[in-house]
Structures are given as C-alpha cells and as structure tokens.
C-alpha cells in the first residue's frame, strides 16, 4: 500500500476535494493561495483527524506553519518506521533521536543559530531569511527521518556559486538551485529568485516527470543523498558512477518509476531515489538492486 500523502497528492483535484470536503479544500486553496493542497494541509497533529472547517478559516499564517511543522514530524516518523520495515523486515532497535520541530526564525541570524544549536549544522544564509527557514525545515525533516544531516550549508551568490564548477559548465548553472561539493563536504545553495516559489515550481516539474517528488524539501534531500552516497564510495568509484549512464532498457524503467533527471547517470539515480524514499516512495526490486549494488545510502 502506498503512502497516504503520496496517494492523495497524485489524485485528481476532484478526488482530493471529495476526500477532505470541498469547503475545506477551497478554504486552504484560496486563503493561502496553495495551487495544489497536500494532505498534511488538512490534518490535526494531535488527533490525526481532519482539521475542522472553522479552524482552517480562522488560523493565522503563523498558526498554520506551526501546525504543519507538527504534522510533518508525525508523517516523517511514520515514514521512517515504514521504510525500516520494508527494507529490513522489522523496526531496528536502538536509541530513537528526539524529534526536532522546526520553528521558523525571525531573522537570518536566528536561522543560523537554529541550524547550529538545534541541528548541529554550520550554516551561512547570507542574510536571506526565507531561504534559511526553508533549508532548516528540510534539515529538521532529515533528522526526524533518522538520516545524518549535512555538516555545512552555504548560500552563495551566482558568481560565487560558479567558482565551484569548471567554466564549461557555467552556462548550465543559471537555474541550478543547489549542489553538493565533495571536496569541501558542503552543500552549496545558489541565491536565486525561484527559492521564493520553490514549492510551486517543483510541483509541475514532478508532474512533468523530471523530479521524483514535488516536496519543497526535495532539493536538500537530493543533495544530502549525494553526500551520504559519497561517504560510502572512494573517489574512483564516485567518478566512475558519474560517467556511467543507464542503458536504454534500464533508462526506460528509471524514467517510469523515478523521473527523467534520474536517468542522467547513476549518481543522479541514487540521489533521486534517496529523495523519493525519504518522502515515502517505494521502487521495484530491479531499481533497489541497483541502489544497493551502487552503495546507495541506507535508511
């Protein structure tokens, strides 16, 4: 059985409206200008039931963000347990880390302090509060799902972002929002206008079969997938996978199950599958065989 949230998000708008009620659906869509409301938009974190209509009509933006953060903690914990059962056949024993609820900061400096003190991540958000809050929310989700977080995250101007890539790649970087730099063990984020509308941009890219999920956390999950993958490989193994492309038959399977970008090479396949699994997706045995054979990050 698929993840309920994923099933809801893939359903037609007519079915989503039926599932939560037309009034609830229209309230969230119109009040918060959400193009495609997700299941978590309607959930009460304390009961698991649908939020009553009056609450949706009256809750402030701050109250909504707090409720969604609490809901996401619960969703991620359930996904972590489900992933362990599907991978190992049981929930692994061991010390369970206390969940971290992401509380949006009021300033970029506060966001950096939250990253350092709560998440254990050295972050430089270059004064950009909105991007800092988005990145912290993604890293808190990684923690709650049981994955190691990046040690360093830096927001860079387009000019400084390009310095980490050879000149022949500079033209292609105009719309690249983030990247993992193996030599520095750092995730770098490019200060682009689309970070303001990232969630809205990712949804059509997912529907067009480019990325494996429409989650706003997808980009950080993808880059952290590269980081965790690199930690399991030698430089020679990493470079070899970067140069290897799936054959035509495997590429067709990847495009059908994961997305077009994942078929670029085996490094992108692993990162896209990782981001998908973190967000509750499952893949066929043939793709999981490639994932484990190429030392994809374990849950």
Classify the phi-psi angles of 43: left when phi > 0, otherwise alpha if psi is within -120 to 50, otherwise beta. beta
pLDDT confidence of 180, banded at 50, 70, 90?
very high
pLDDT of residue 250: 96
Torsion of CA 283, 205, 195, 183, to 10 degrees: 50
pLDDT confidence of 5, banded at 50, 70, 90?
low
Query: 188 forms bridges with which residues in the sheet?
Result: 154, 179
pLDDT of residue 91: 47
* Average pLDDT score, the chain: 87
| Residue of higher predicted confidence among 231 and 280 | 231
Mean pLDDT of 157-173: 92
Candidates 5, 51, 12, 49; CA nearest to 31 is 51
Q: Above 90 in pLDDT, residue 209?
A: no
Q: Above 90 in pLDDT, residue 246?
A: yes
pLDDT of residue 3: 61
Percent of the chain with pLDDT over 90: 52
- Lowest-confidence range among 165-169, 197-201, 248-252, 265-269? 197-201
Residue 124 to residues 57, 132, 150, Cα–Cα distance (Å): 37, 8, 13
Mean pLDDT of 52-67: 89
Predicted TM-score (pTM) of the model is 0.71
């Amino acid at each position: 059985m698929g993840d309920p949230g994923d099933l809801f998000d893939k359903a037609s708008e007519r079915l989503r409206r039926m599932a939560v009620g037309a009034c609830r659906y229209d309230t969230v869509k119109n009040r918060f200008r959400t193009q495609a409301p997700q299941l978590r938009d309607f959930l009460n974190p304390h009961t698991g039931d649908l939020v009553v209509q009056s609450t949706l009509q009256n809750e402030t933006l701050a109250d909504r963000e707090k409720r969604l953060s609490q809901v996401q903690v619960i969703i991620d914990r359930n996904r972590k347990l489900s992933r362990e059962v599907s991978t190992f056949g049981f929930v692994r024993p061991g010390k369970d880390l206390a969940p971290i609820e992401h509380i949006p900061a009021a300033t970029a400096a506060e966001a950096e302090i939250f990253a350092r003190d709560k998440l254990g991540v050295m972050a430089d958000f270059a004064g950009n509060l909105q991007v800092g809050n988005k990145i912290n929310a993604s890293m808190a989700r990684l923690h709650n799902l049981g994955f190691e977080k990046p040690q360093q995250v830096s927001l860079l101007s387009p000019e400084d972002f390009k310095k980490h890539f050879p000149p022949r790649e500079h033209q292609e970087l105009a719309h690249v929002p983030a990247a993992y730099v193996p030599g520095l063990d750092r995730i770098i984020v490019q200060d682009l206008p689309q970070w303001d509308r990232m969630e809205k941009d990712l949804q059509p890219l997912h529907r067009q079969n480019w990325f494996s999920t429409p989650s706003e956390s997808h980009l950080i999950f993808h880059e952290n997938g590269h980081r965790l993958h690199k930690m399991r490989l030698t430089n020679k193994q990493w470079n070899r996978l970067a140069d290897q492309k799936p054959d035509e038959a495997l590429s067709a399977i990847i495009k059908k199950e994961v997305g077009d970008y994942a078929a670029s090479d085996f490094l992108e396949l692993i990162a896209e599958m990782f981001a998908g699994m973190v967000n509750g997706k499952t893949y066929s045995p043939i793709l999981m065989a490639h994932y484990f054979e190429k030392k994809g990050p374990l849950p």
